[in-house]
Amino acid sequence: MVRFLIRRLLLMIPLIVGITFISFCAMSLVPGNFVSNLAMDPRIPPAVIKQMEAQFGVDRPLLVRYFTWFWDVLHLNLGVSFAYRVDVTNLIAARALNTVILSVASMLFSWLLAIPIGVVVAVRQNSILDRVLSFLSFLGMSVPAFFLAFLAMDFALRTGWFPVGGSFSPDYPNLDSWSKVADRINHLTLPASVLGLAGMASLMRLMRSQILDIKDEEFVRTARAKGLPERLVLFKHVLRNALNPFVTMAGYELAGLLSGAALVETVMNLQGLGLLLLQAVRSLDVPLVMGSVLMGTVLLLLGNLIADMALVAVDPRVNFGTLTAQ
């Protein structure tokens, strides 16, 4: 296990350098920069523009700017946002809670529905229920999440049952603890449902196919031959092995904390990391964009690592030696 962890952590270093360097170059390919956009304002004197270029370092060569940024990252400093003029770390941390809550809620919503529905349709293969739910799952996979977000916003406007946009009410700081929880849930219901429905269809199809692939395996037939009840065979032998891909997928959900909810946050005006990143890209706020990219990269790599370790814990056929050899 120690050898596996050391190897994976060392492999993360070139991946992080490569991804951040490519992202930095991509931002540099965009015409202009944050300061040149400000130069279009006639109220700002040219001398101030020159001073800001030197202050933000946008007048230096690309490699110098990247390695200066990366050197600061090694010292746990993500820099200062050009647009907000505050520390990038604090800015991301202030928005992270909303995205974490939204992503976790949507993941629980989709998984708690998709797994049992997938089991039911697999057990009742080719039944009317299977055909109807399979059709609905294909329909769910074909509808983009942002379109569902627009439908949810229209539903909220027409019915008035849910708030339109925002992560909490204006009087949220003055509420008591239980009222704050209720207010959060009320604002969270629609966006979490949108994200959950967008991912539930594919999860249901995956669970169905896993159950169908495993239920006729030799070890399952052996369990039935021993006289075990079908319910016990299904939940103890079939379902446990069918969940292996879901263990791997759970690790990648960490990266979704940054990127998965971006479109929904934008459409529904939720103050999370996705909307923050979009605003940073539009304003060419390089430190904020790079801080977000770095966090997403680290979350993806750590999620992959955690998923592999969890897979070893739940699947006796996989060990750290096998993973190290890959």
DSSP string, 136-173: HHHHHHHS-HHHHHHHHHHHHHHH-SS-SS-SS-TTGG
Q: How many Å apart are CA 122 and CA 204, to the nearest integer?
A: 10
> Which range (65-69, 135-139, 163-167, 241-245) has the least confidence?
163-167
Helices 177-214, 244-259: axis angle to 10 degrees equals 140
Flag whether pLDDT at 101 surpasses 60. yes
| pLDDT computed for residue 251 by the predictor | 65
pLDDT in tens, 8-25: 788 888 989 999 999 888
CA–CA dist 291, 27 (Å, integer) = 13
CA 183 to chain centre: 23
Confidence of residue 320 (pLDDT cuts 50, 70, 90): low
User: Is it the case that residue 326 has pLDDT exceeding 70?
Assistant: no
Give percent of the chain with pLDDT exceeding 70: 85
Give 305's contacts (C-beta < 8 A, 6+ positions apart). 5, 8, 251
pLDDT of 165 over the 80 cut: no
Q: Among 91-100, 229-238, 246-255, 273-282, where is mean pLDDT lowest?
A: 246-255
Question: What confidence tens digit (pLDDT) does each residue in 207-238 have?
Answer: 888 888 887 777 777 877 877 777 777 777 77
pLDDT at residue 39 is higher than 70: no
pLDDT at residue 160 in the model: 76
The whole-number average pLDDT for the span 169-181 is 76
User: For the chain, what are the domain ranges?
Assistant: 15-74, 88-325
Q: What is the pLDDT of residue 223?
A: 75
d(CA 74, CA 86): 19
Residue 180 has a pLDDT of 77
The CATH architecture annotation of domain 88-325 reads Orthogonal Bundle (1.10)
Residue 232: partners with Cβ closer than 8 Å, 6 or more residues away: 223
For residue 127, the SS3 value is coil
- Distance, CA of 10 to CA of 324 (rounded, Å): 13
Indicate whether 258 pLDDT > 60: no
Give the single-character DSSP code of 181: H
pLDDT at 322: 54
Percent of the chain with pLDDT over 90: 1
Q: What Cα–Cα distance (Å) separates residue 324 from each residue in 84, 118, 237, 299, 309?
A: 44, 32, 27, 21, 11
- For residue 315, the model assigns a pLDDT of 61
CA distances (Å), 116 to each of 2, 60, 200, in order?
36, 57, 11
Q: How far apart are the first and last CA of the chain?
A: 14
Distance (Å, rounded) from C-alpha 132 to C-alpha 126? 10
Let me know the angle formed at the C-alpha of 318 by 323 and 16, rounded to the nearest 5 degrees: 30
pLDDT at 196: 78
Given a cut of 60, is residue 288 above it in pLDDT?
Answer: yes
Cα–Cα distance for residue pair 52/93, rounded to 1 Å: 26
Structure tokens at 241: 């092995």
Residue 56 identity (one-letter amino acid): F
Look up the pTM and report it: 0.72
Instruction: Kindly report the average pLDDT of the chain as a whole number.
Output: 77
- What would the mean pLDDT of 39-55 be, rounded to a whole number? 72
Query: Which pLDDT score, from 0 to 100, does residue 167 have?
Result: 67
The one-letter amino acid at 300: L
